[in-house]
Amino acid sequence: MIVVTGGAGFIGSNFVRDWLALNDESVINFDKLTYAGNLSNLASLEHDPRHIFVRGDICDTDRLSRLLAEYKPRAIVHFAAESHVDRSIHSPGEFIATNVNGTFSLLEAARAYWSGLSGERKADFRFLHISTDEVYGTLGPQDPPFHEMTPYAPNSPYSASKAASDHLVRAYFHTYAMPVLTTNCSNNYGPFHFPEKLIPLIISNARAGKALPVYGDGLQVRDWLYVGDHCSAIRRVLEAGCPGEVYNVGGWNEMTNLDVVYTLCDILDTLDPKASGSYREQIIHVQDRPGHDRRYAIDARKIERELGWKPAETFETGIRKTIQWYLDNQAWVRDVQSGDYLSWVQKNYAERNDTKGTTA
């Protein structure tokens, strides 16, 4: 079996569902269930004995050690993190606790467990760390995309905490020869994406008749990858990646935020038209994110060349599926938009009024 951390979040829950749909190996899903973790993401696995959910904090090394001793996994896939840049600006401490100290605790538990293995089980063990392209910092318009040797230059508390965790993972390979792998992926989108991130926020606000808040001029560029493609890349790296190596994962799909928002509005105009007018009329420009990275782009040639991985979806196909999923799963959206979500929206957007005074 394998252990997954953070498997109740957006990417982790997609990974767990896909994993169990594709093979019979059990998954121990270790998750603290923060505001971002949601067991309803895993409702389809409720009666599946191959999915074992354990609530816990990756900062708890003893708990993790007991878990590893009990289940004896052949691999750990580490998704658990605080993942939202805007939240990291408001509350950086939680990002250091989980992303840095938590990854360290998990590495220590994994090292003790792996050291006690022998023979093939020891050689075949893998620790796969899921990271982000944001560790590389920001690009100018003409710069080549990030590759695996691009120097780290993180700019937000989120990306700095992820960079620190990447360095720890790297050090465990070089110092202890622990068989670790790291993936650095671009922005994901798809089903079960928590509606505080750009794409699900725009879909949800559009349908609710609310303003669609674009930070600053909206000309910041991101590379977008459908979550199912990220999950297939992770499976491929786990299966065939070389220990100690880093693989950049991306969709070859750079877009400005404004173009993403226009695309969402235009597709919604056809799939779920308003009584009159276009969703584009709801777009407002609000105060920019402090330290906002201007452009991310990923050179994903290494994983393609060495492991034969390529994304299956284009942005056009993936975003249509995603919008349709949100239209078909409005109860899920309503359920996650309560409690903490409402106070977050208030905190993040209250001071970002546009020039006309409209509140996002």
What are the residue numbers of the active site?
133-134, 158
Q: In the set 150, 188, 220, 348, which binds ligand NAD (CB under 6 A)?
A: 188
Encoding tokens for residue 160?
């700095």
What CA–CA distance (Å, rounded) separates 244 from 342? 42
Q: In the set 2, 4, 16, 58, which binds ligand NAD (CB under 6 A)?
A: 58
Distance of CA 102 to the CA centre of its chain: 17
Q: From the list ligand NAD, ligand TYD, none, pick the one residue 98 interacts with, judged by a Cβ distance below 5 to 8 Å according to partner type.
A: ligand NAD
Helix, strand, coil share of the chain (percent; to 5): 50, 15, 35
Closer by beta carbon to ligand TYD, 86 or else 299: 86
CB of 249 to ligand NAD, least distance (A): 8
Q: From the list ligand NAD, ligand TYD, none, pick the one residue 8 interacts with, judged by a Cβ distance below 5 to 8 Å according to partner type.
A: ligand NAD
CB of 347 to ligand TYD, least distance (A): 13
Q: In the set 2, 4, 9, 68, which binds ligand NAD (CB under 6 A)?
A: 9
Distance of CA 15 to the CA centre of its chain: 11
CB of 107 to ligand TYD, least distance (A): 24
Amino acid at 330: Q
Q: From the list ligand NAD, ligand TYD, none, pick the one residue 27 interacts with, judged by a Cβ distance below 5 to 8 Å according to partner type.
A: none
Contacts with ligand TYD by CB under 6 A lie at 85, 187, 197-198, 201, 213-215, 220, 222, 257, 289
Q: From the list ligand TYD, ligand NAD, none, pick the one residue 222 interacts with, judged by a Cβ distance below 5 to 8 Å according to partner type.
A: ligand TYD
Question: Are the C-beta atoms of residues 60 and 15 closer than 8 Å to each other?
Answer: no
CB of 338 to ligand TYD, least distance (A): 18
What CA–CA distance (Å, rounded) separates 19 from 8? 14
Here's the x/- map for ligand NAD, 75-114, by CB under 6 A: it reads as ----xxxxx--------------x---x------------
In 202-251 the beta strands, taken as DSSP E runs, fall at 212-215, 221-226, 246-249
In 37-191 the beta strands, taken as DSSP E runs, fall at 51-55, 75-78, 126-132, 180-185, 187-189
Please report the DSSP string for 156-208 in residue order. SHHHHHHHHHHHHHHHHHHHH---EEEEEE-EEESTT--TTSHHHHHHHHHHT
Number of residues that bind ligand NAD (CB under 6 A): 31
